Amino acid sequence: MNFKEMMLKGILPDNLQVLDAHGHIGIFPGTVGCDGGYKKLIEVMDKRGILKTAVSSTYSITGDYIAGNNDMLEAVSNSQGRILGYVTVNPNYPEDSVNEIKRCTGEGVIGIKIHPTHSKTPVNHENYKPCFSYANERGAIVLVHVYSLDAVKEIEKTIVAWPNAKIIIAHSGTESGYALTAELIKKYENAYCDICMGYPRANLLEHLVKYGDDNKILFGSDTPLTDPGTSFGRIMLSDIPDSSKEKILGLNFIKMLENCSL
């Protein structure tokens, strides 16, 4: 049986390596059924068969980035390697970007997170230059919130400007931007995407694989906003090869982590 047939029978394949490249510590307004803590996250990971989850702090995105990054560091240090961290940079404080990255750098902190929407600063604004310059020098991962076609168009300029930074297009640019995202991950060596989104279009994943690059697509859930089981199910029940599913579920992120530094 292939993975889809197994899932429909309630069977999970043996030895799947599942890593979630896009999660959070903390909650956003409207989040229900979860306290946003790292202990609850690990419970969910165990239930869903997820080996590791990479997180940023919701508080660092919406409020105090330093306090939020401290929450992220606490989660990473108390998870026995299960939780990885993104240090969140706020472009409204560009003079502190590199200092904050260096302050948070350590075992288990694997990349940088920026959220242009909540920061009210477009991704190509000069205030991001210290962050991207630092990432470019080190070949570091930068996870960027990208939630529209216009945002995908903007991030192409960033991908071109910083060719050594490994840039993840979060949410694949959502329903309006996923087609262009597929083009970008195929065209640019340093462009990747994750698949988490609240309202995914039918056959979106199939499109990313067919017109993009299945080596550049990452499993992401946006937990705790969305249960990881939803993204997992979308992958397992999609009409793509099992080899592509294994890559997306974890092998691509494992390879990415082996070839980056912060």
User: For residues 132 and 167, what is the distance between their CA atoms, to the nearest angstrom?
Assistant: 10
In a domain, 12, yes or no: no
Phi, then psi, of 126 in degrees rounded to 5: -60, -20
Number of domains in the chain: 1
Establish if 189 belongs to a structural domain.
yes
Which pLDDT does position 28 carry in this prediction? 79
Residue 262 domain-assigned (yes or no): no
13 inside domain: no
Tell me which residue range forms the domain holding 96. 3-7+18-257
DSSP, collapsed to helix, strand or coil, labels residue 5 as helix
Enumerate the β-bridge partners of residue 35: none
Q: What are phi and psi of 20, to 5 degrees?
A: -95, 115
Over residues 220-230, the pLDDT tens digits come to 999 998 899 99
Predicted confidence (pLDDT) per residue in 127-145, tens digit: 999 999 999 999 999 999 9
Q: What confidence tier does 30 reach under pLDDT thresholds 50, 70, 90?
A: low
Could you tell me which of 16, 49, 13 has the C-alpha nearest to residue 228?
49
Residue 215 lies in a domain: yes
Residues 170-216: pLDDT tens digits? 999 999 999 999 999 999 999 999 999 877 788 999 999 999 999 99
Q: For residue 32, is pLDDT > 70?
A: no
Q: List the CATH number of the domain containing 35.
A: 3.20.20.140
- Is residue 35 in some structural domain? yes
